[in-house]
Amino acid sequence: MIWKIFGLAVHFAARYNDGMAMSILVIVGPTGSGKTDTAVLAAQALDGEIVTADSMQVYRGMDIGTAKPTPEEQRGVPHHLIDVVNPDEEFSVAEYVALADRVIAGIAGRGHVPIVAGGTGLYVNALVDRWVFPPQPADFALREELKEVAEREGPEALLDRLRAVDPASAERLHPNDVKRVIRALEVHQLTGRPLSSFDYKPGEGARPGPYRALMYGLTLPREVLNAGLEKRVHAQLKAGLLEEVRRLYEGGYGPELSAMKGITYRQLVGYLRGDYDFDTAVELMVRDNRRYAKRQYTWFKADPRIQWIDILDAGGPAGAAEIIVEGWREWLREEG
């Protein structure tokens, strides 16, 4: 077995050094589906290293609420792109891709298997497909001008402007969603393209990415996943989540920060501010975790490249990892 794994690693490094498209293993799925355990077990079997694809685990000091794997849970497997920035620092998708590219090159150079694992579909697809995103620079003068239009003429007038240049975006936006209507008009002003033209379609990036990706998705029956998410919320609270959020909030990390708008953080900040009682905060945490899992599954389900594994049918993370490992080895053999 050791020689078999070593041979696959040498094969992988040789392909990379020859300038061929680099092979990566991708494991995705909704929150609470068992990605962490499955990815670690697969990495142990394949001599792999994990490149985390989680938009919240990049923040330092936000550990419990992001379900960041502990050293014990990592089981000696190197994890990359965790604890990258402080909660008050901006971190874009483009920055994630640039860092991931560098990390993956290092993993391949060591003859190890890069395993991209996480639930942030935006990160995964930007990395694999080189999806072009709407520009990040903002035209603040234009934003203020459009806000004045909404205040003076009403939000429907603003939406009429959007209908003239981007009817697809106007169709899906409510007139009262002034912030997103303004953003759509801003993108058109900055690029000359409607925001809807940036809509993501799996596998249809602006240019071919540098990777050949074997993609697996983990899932659970909805009722099992929902029950597990509620249980996880209570486990996080028992582990000190409220204290973690209190420390961040009292340390100057306010609710206006992107990091503090993440699930579990924004609900507990609301409690700390006195917006509602603790039981309500917990109810909101459970509800929003479930909603987020549903959105994640909808996003990933649109990608036909993903091979789905039901964790229960597989017998748990160990069974799912075994399926993935064998699939990876067979895939490499077929690709030569």
Residue 200 has a pLDDT of 65
* CATH topology assigned to domain 140-198: Histone, subunit A (1.10.20)
| pTM across the whole model | 0.81
* CATH topology assigned to domain 2-131+202-335: Rossmann fold (3.40.50)
Residue 10 has a pLDDT of 40
Residue 34 has a pLDDT of 96
Residue 204 has a pLDDT of 63
- Segments in the chain below pLDDT 70: 1-20, 133, 135-137, 199-208, 336
pLDDT, tens digit, 9 for 90 and up, residues 113-129: 999 999 999 899 999 98
Residue 198 has a pLDDT of 74
Residue 173 has a pLDDT of 84
**Annotated domain spans of the chain:** 2-131+202-335, 140-198
Residue 51 has a pLDDT of 98
Nearest-CA neighbor of 300 among 31, 20, 83, 114?
31
**3-state secondary structure labels for all residues of 80-137:** ECCCCECCCCCCCHHHHHHHHHHHHHHHHHCCCEEEEECCCHHHHHHHHHCCCCCCCC
Residue 180 has a pLDDT of 84
Rounded distance between C-alpha atoms, residue 321 and residue 184, angstroms: 42
pLDDT, tens digit, 9 for 90 and up, residues 282-310: 999 999 999 999 999 999 998 999 999 99
pLDDT, tens digit, 9 for 90 and up, residues 170-179: 888 888 888 8
